[in-house]
Structure 1
Amino acid sequence: MPTLPTGRRLVFWLALVAALVVAIWLVVRYLSPLPPRMLVMSTGATDGAYHRFGLRYQELLKAEGIRLELRPSSGGVENLQRLNDGTVEVALVQGGTGVLALDPDATVDSTPLRSLATVAFEPVWIFTRTLDVSKGLEALAGKRIAVGVAGSGNYQVAHQLLAVYGITVPDGQQGTADGTTFVSSGGLAAADQLAKGEVDAVIIIAAPQAPAVQRLLADPAVRLASLDHVEGLARRYPYFRPVSLKRGSVNPKLDLPAQDISLLATTANLVVRDELHPALAYLLLEAARQVHRQPSLINRPDDFPSPQGTDFPLSDQADRYFKHGRPFLQNYLPFWAANYVQRLLLLVVPLVAILVPLGRVLPGVIGWRRRSRLYRRYGELKFLEQDLASRKLDAAERSQALSRLDHIEEEIIGTKFPLDFSDRVYTLRQHVDYVRAQLNRQMEAADDRRDAR
Structure 2
Amino acid sequence: MTRDKYNWKEALPVYGPLVLLVLVGFVWAFQYIKPAPPDHIVIASGEKGGAYHAFALRYQKLLKDQGIDLQIISTRGSVENLALLSQGKVDMAFVQGGVQANKPATGLQGLGSLYYEPLWLFHKAGTRLQRMPDLQGHKVAIGPQGSGTQALVRLLMEENALKIPSVEMLAWDSVKASKALKAGQIDAAFFVASPRSPLVTGLLHDSSVRLASFERADAYARRHDFLTVLTLPEGAEDLAVNIPPEEIKLLATTSDLVVQEDLHPGLVSLMMQVVDKVHRPAGWFSEEGEFPNYRHMSFPLNEQAERFYRNGPPFLQRYLPFWAASLLDRMKIMILPLLGLLLPLFKVVPPLYRWRMRARIYRWYEQLEE
Report the TM-score when normalising by structure 1: 0.72
Partner of 1:52: 54
Partner of 2:134: 139
The alpha-carbon deviation at position 219 of structure 1 amounts to: 3.0
The alpha-carbon deviation at position 258 of structure 1 amounts to: 2.0
The letter for the 1-side match of 2:98 is G
The alpha-carbon deviation at position 210 of structure 1 amounts to: 4.1
Map Cα deviations across residues 344-402 of structure 1 (whole Å, 9 max, x no partner).
434322311232244455568x48xx98xxxxxxxxxxxxxxxxxxxxxxxxxxxxxxx
The letter for the 1-side match of 2:102 is L
Partner of 1:335: 322
**Cα-Cα RMSD:** 3.1
Secondary structure at the counterpart of residue 238 of structure 1: coil
Equivalences for 1:389-404 in 2 at 5 Å? none
The alpha-carbon deviation at position 320 of structure 1 amounts to: 1.0
The alpha-carbon deviation at position 92 of structure 1 amounts to: 0.6
User: Contact 1:307–1:318 (CA<8 Å) still a contact in 2?
Assistant: no
The alpha-carbon deviation at position 429 of structure 1 amounts to: 4.2
User: Contact 2:269–2:308 (CA<8 Å) still a contact in 1?
Assistant: yes
Distance 2:321 2:12 in 1: 47
Distance 1:427 1:273, change over 3 A: same
Distance 1:77 1:429, change over 3 A: farther
Distance 2:111 2:203 in 1: 31
Q: Does 1:120 align with 2:115?
A: yes
Distance 1:196 1:429, change over 3 A: farther
Q: Does 1:158 align with 2:171?
A: no
The alpha-carbon deviation at position 144 of structure 1 amounts to: 0.9
Distance 1:9 1:359, change over 3 A: closer
The alpha-carbon deviation at position 47 of structure 1 amounts to: 2.8
User: Contact 1:250–1:297 (CA<8 Å) still a contact in 2?
Assistant: no
Secondary structure at the counterpart of residue 418 of structure 1: helix
Partner of 1:440: none
Partner of 2:78: 76
Equivalences for 1:80-99 in 2 at 5 Å? 80-98=82-100
The letter for the 2-side match of 1:233 is Y
The alpha-carbon deviation at position 316 of structure 1 amounts to: 1.2
Distance 1:429 1:216 in 2: 109
The alpha-carbon deviation at position 146 of structure 1 amounts to: 0.5
The partner residue of 1:26 within 20, 28, 31 is 31
Q: Does 1:41 align with 2:43?
A: yes
Partner of 1:306: 293
Task: Please tell me whether Structure 1 or Structure 2 has the larger radius of gyration of its CA atoms.
Answer: 1
The letter for the 2-side match of 1:68 is L
The alpha-carbon deviation at position 20 of structure 1 amounts to: 6.6
> 202-211 or 11-20, which moves further after superposition?
11-20
Distance 1:15 1:358 in 2: 12
Partner of 2:102: 102
Unaligned 5+ segments in structure 2 are 1-6
Partner of 1:350: 337
Secondary structure at the counterpart of residue 102 of structure 1: coil
Map Cα deviations across residues 205-258 of structure 1 (whole Å, 9 max, x no partner).
233344433432343432111111011111122221211122222222222122
Distance 1:221 1:360, change over 3 A: farther
Distance 1:215 1:291, change over 3 A: farther
The alpha-carbon deviation at position 13 of structure 1 amounts to: 9.4
The letter for the 1-side match of 2:95 is V
Equivalences for 1:397-416 in 2 at 5 Å? none
User: Kindly, what percent of the aligned residue pairs are identical?
Assistant: 33
The partner residue of 1:269 within 252, 256, 264 is 256
Equivalences for 1:131-210 in 2 at 5 Å? 131-134=127-130, 136-169=131-164, 176=165, 178=166, 180-210=167-197
The alpha-carbon deviation at position 70 of structure 1 amounts to: 0.6
Secondary structure at the counterpart of residue 128 of structure 2: coil
Secondary structure at the counterpart of residue 109 of structure 2: strand
Distance 1:24 1:213, change over 3 A: farther
Partner of 2:3: none
Map Cα deviations across residues 244-291 of structure 1 (whole Å, 9 max, x no partner).
122222222222122221111111111111111122112211111222
Q: Does 1:418 align with 2:363?
A: no
Distance 1:212 1:5, change over 3 A: same
The partner residue of 1:240 within 220, 224, 227 is 227
Distance 1:359 1:221, change over 3 A: farther
The letter for the 2-side match of 1:274 is E
Distance 1:208 1:286, change over 3 A: farther
User: Contact 1:96–1:239 (CA<8 Å) still a contact in 2?
Assistant: yes
Distance 1:15 1:356 in 2: 15
Distance 1:360 1:7, change over 3 A: closer
Partner of 2:245: 258
How many residues of Structure 1 are paired with residues of Structure 2 in the alignment?
A: 364
Distance 1:284 1:64 in 2: 11
Higher relative helix content:
1
The partner residue of 1:226 within 202, 207, 213 is 213
Distance 1:250 1:311, change over 3 A: same
Distance 1:12 1:269, change over 3 A: same
> 185-194 or 84-93, which moves further after superposition?
185-194
The alpha-carbon deviation at position 72 of structure 1 amounts to: 1.0
